[in-house]
């Protein structure tokens, strides 16, 4: 059913607002935020790339089946730059991208996004939480239209995901806000238990 789809977990952020590595925070369902994100994708039998240049992330995923850790080629430059590590892989039709700091994501939300992409696989599907686009939870075709626009923006030092979306074909999928909550600071952690 998901042949050609590969997951990409973005986990290389500096976590400055959180004050510690978000990827390694304990998840209420067990493990940490990073292993939770990986587990959602592996539950759907998707191969997973974790993009990070942090050695503890590489060590954590090194023993997990179906998971590869790719170094962020532009550490500290944000998610658009990090995506350049995974675009262009052979035999990959599209990338299911998710950030490690959406720990409320669940399998059913991933399935909804994947089904929306399958309706028109040549066009990206980007989630919307009712307030704003969430370009870090999306499915992006591994097509030259997307890759070329990405590289063009990086060459111009334009690192905004929203700018990139303005240059590539995409559809918007409304999903429940609760699943897409982006937790960035210690005060946000209480909402994880809700």
CB 107 within 8 A of CB 147: no
Which pLDDT tens digit goes with each residue over 128-151? Answer: 998 999 999 999 999 999 999 999
Q: From CA 124, how far away is CA 187, in angstroms rounded?
A: 33
Per the prediction, the chain carries an average pLDDT of: 85
- Percent residues over pLDDT 90 in the chain: 53
Query: Would the pTM count as exceeding 0.85?
Result: yes
Largest CA distance in the chain: 42
Nearby residues of 63 by Cβ (< 8 Å), 6 or more positions away: none
For 5-193, give the CATH class. Answer: alpha beta
Q: Spell out the domain ranges in the chain.
A: 5-193
The DSSP bridge partners found for residue 39 are: none
Per-residue CA distances from 146 to 71, 107, 168, 187 (Å)? 20, 26, 6, 36
Q: Which of 52-56, 129-133, 150-154 has the lowest mean pLDDT?
A: 52-56
Give the contacts of 130 (CB within 8 A, at least 6 positions apart). Answer: 174, 176, 177
Bridge partners of 125?
Answer: 139, 171
């Amino acid at each position: 059913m998901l042949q050609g789809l590969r997951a990409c977990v973005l986990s290389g952020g500096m976590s400055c607002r959180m004050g510690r590595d978000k990827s390694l925070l304990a998840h209420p369902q067990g493990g940490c935020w990073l292993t939770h994100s990986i587990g959602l994708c592996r539950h759907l039998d998707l191969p997973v790339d974790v993009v990070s240049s942090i050695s503890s992330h590489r060590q954590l995923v090194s023993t997990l089946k179906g998971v590869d850790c790719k170094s962020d080629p532009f550490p500290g430059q944000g998610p658009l730059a990090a995506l350049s590590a995974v675009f262009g892989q052979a035999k990959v039709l599209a990338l299911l991208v998710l950030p490690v700091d959406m720990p409320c994501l669940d399998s059913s939300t991933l399935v909804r996004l994947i089904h929306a992409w399958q309706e028109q696989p040549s066009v990206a599907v980007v989630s919307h939480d009712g307030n704003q686009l969430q370009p870090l939870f999306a499915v992006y075709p591994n097509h030259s239209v997307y890759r070329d626009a990405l590289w063009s923006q990086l060459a111009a030092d334009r690192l905004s995901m929203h700018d990139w979306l303005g240059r590539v074909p995409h559809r918007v999928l409304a999903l429940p806000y609760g699943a897409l909550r982006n937790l960035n600071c210690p005060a946000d952690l209480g909402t994880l238990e809700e």
